[in-house]
Chains A and B, each alone.
Chain A
């Protein structure tokens, strides 16, 4: 390529390409092939194994700052459960969670024609952490006497079917800290033999993988990547899949640029050596 010096590529070319490869998957999701990792696959299968009509619990222990990673998990789980005709009871040990869960429940309930109080219930937030978890082991209605809207649980048909964890086929905990998955595993899973699944941020996930190994968690979604895999499995690619598309392509693009830069670098070095020119001043790395 005469007259075109790779070393002098205007960085605006790089910027434009980055801009395009981030925006494009958002506009046109391309669903790059993505391997589903075993913890996600197991979670999906665990939900599939729950007989229709059973009750599952969605325990959301997160706050708005981790929404980009965790909200797609909540949405996919609710979609998965509604599609399989499972009934959902949601609880929260974090004060900020109930409105976020509500954000996911409302549109999906409309989409699947589910009725509040019959097919799903948002029990809202209860302070106390571990104490609340143990209280639920004895009696869920006594621990959450009202739902998120202040309605006594006695007035909700779904809650008449629920006494304690014996009536819950599976618990999905979405957590970004403490109290969260660790407490659910230690206080609830071991004591009441609950089938427990979890979704956490990428930063928080590593210590929980051993729980999947030991079977204390039936599955685990780690970060945006876990969320994206789950979205693929429930066949409803959303924010997470789009985000992962962009991530993959940007990473590949940067690697491509690095390789390109090195090709140019060696070509130039060879040319210089041929000319016998002095070595150029290099930046120190």
Chain B
């Protein structure tokens, strides 16, 4: 028996086990579900170790090298590898009630750092750039472009108004918010329809695997 054939057969059986869930929950699905959790846990553990922990912490701190280059024990690079390693380690302090609170330091750096990191780029890409893209010329109403631009501007203003929390949606505000909802619903419907194709392609892909790669009847 060759490994490829065994592999394909195994993969095919597992594929069928997952599809059996569509009928109802059953032992085959349970088996597949627990198997994939186990395999992916092992996979991530190994990959994280090789890709992050080893090159950035273990190698520099214990083997004194970064990539292929030797570094100095106690040098800047060495400390720069040791500190994040320690930060990672203190996450585990929560298992020791007396020093458990230390684990929040690592969380503080991480959450604080990424919160700060997010703010300005979000302002840039999702507010400024969108203002620029959203303020379209609408004066040329004798052309089709003018009307479609007007549609885009009104839709955008309506949607923004819908998310206005400080006032009840009544009067002009209510009217604009209602336009917003109309646009949101049409947009959602379109996204839904647009996604069908790619999801069906996934199924075709799995089906091709079963019928062609495994059973070879296509």
- As a 0/1 sequence over residues 20 to 57 of chain A, the CB contacts with chain B under 8 angstroms (1 = contact) are 00110011000000000000000000000000000000
A22 and B23 form a contact (CB under 8 A) = no
CB atoms of A26 and B197 under 8 A apart: no
- Which B-chain residue is minimally distant from A224 (CB atoms)? B201
Contact call B204/A12, Cβ cutoff below 8 A: no
Closest residue of chain A to B189, judged by CB?
A: A285
Report if A118 contacts B (CB, 8 A). Answer: no
Residues of B within 8 A of A18 (CB): 203
- Number of A residues near B (Cβ < 8 Å) is 18
Answer whether residue B217 sits at the interface, using C-beta atoms and an 8 A cutoff: yes
Determine if B1 is an interface residue (Cβ-Cβ < 8 Å).
no
- Given B23, B185, B201, which contacts A247 in the complex, CB threshold below 8 Å? B201
- Report whether B196 and A251 are in contact in the complex, using a CB–CB cutoff of 8 Å: yes
CB distance from B211 to the nearest CB of A (A): 6
Q: Is B201 a contact partner of A26 (Cβ separation < 8 A)?
A: no
The answer for the CA separation of A250 and B201 in the assembled complex, in Å, is: 11
- What is the distance, in angstroms, from A238's C-beta to the closest C-beta of chain B? 11
B190 sits at the interface (CB 8 A): no
Tell me the complex Cα distance, A246–B199, Å: 12
A15 at the interface (CB under 8 A from B): yes
A254 lies within 8 A of B196 (CB): yes
A22–B207 CB distance below 8 A: yes
Task: Give the residues in chain B near A239, CB-CB below 8 Å.
Answer: 208
CA distance A18 to B204 in the complex (A): 11
B188 (CB) vs chain A CBs: closest residue:
A285
The interface residues of chain A lying within 8 Å CB-to-CB of B22 are 12, 15
CB of B201 within 8 A of CB of A243, answer yes
A6 CB to nearest chain B CB (Å): 21
CB contacts under 8 Å to A, within B186-215, are: 196-197, 200-201, 203-205, 207-208, 211-212
| Most chain B CB inside 10 Å of its own CB: which residue of A12, A15, A26, A251 | A26
Interface residue count for B (Cβ, 8 Å)? 17
Does A215 lie at the interface of the complex (its beta carbon under 8 Å from any beta carbon of B)?
no
A246-B217 contact in complex given A26-B207, A26-B208, C-beta closer than 8 Å: no
Bound complex: CA A12 to CA B23 (Å): 6
Among residues of B, the one whose C-beta sits closest to the C-beta of A23 is B207
Q: Which of A242-264 contact B (CB under 8 A)?
A: 243, 246-247, 250-251, 254
Q: Answer whether residue A68 sits at the interface, using C-beta atoms and an 8 A cutoff.
A: yes
Least Cβ–Cβ distance between A245 and chain B, in angstroms:
10
A–B Cβ pairs within 8 angstroms, 28 of them: A12-B22, A12-B23, A15-B23, A19-B19, A22-B203, A22-B207, A23-B207, A26-B204, A26-B207, A26-B208, A26-B211, A26-B212, A27-B218, A68-B201, A68-B205, A224-B201, A239-B208, A246-B200, A246-B204, A247-B197, A247-B201, A247-B204, A250-B196, A250-B200, A251-B196, A251-B197, A251-B200, A285-B185
Not counting A12-B22, A22-B200, A247-B200, a sample of 15 additional A-B residue pairs whose C-beta atoms are within 8 angstroms of each other reads A12-B23, A15-B22, A15-B23, A19-B19, A22-B204, A23-B207, A23-B211, A26-B212, A27-B211, A68-B205, A243-B201, A243-B204, A250-B196, A254-B196, A285-B185
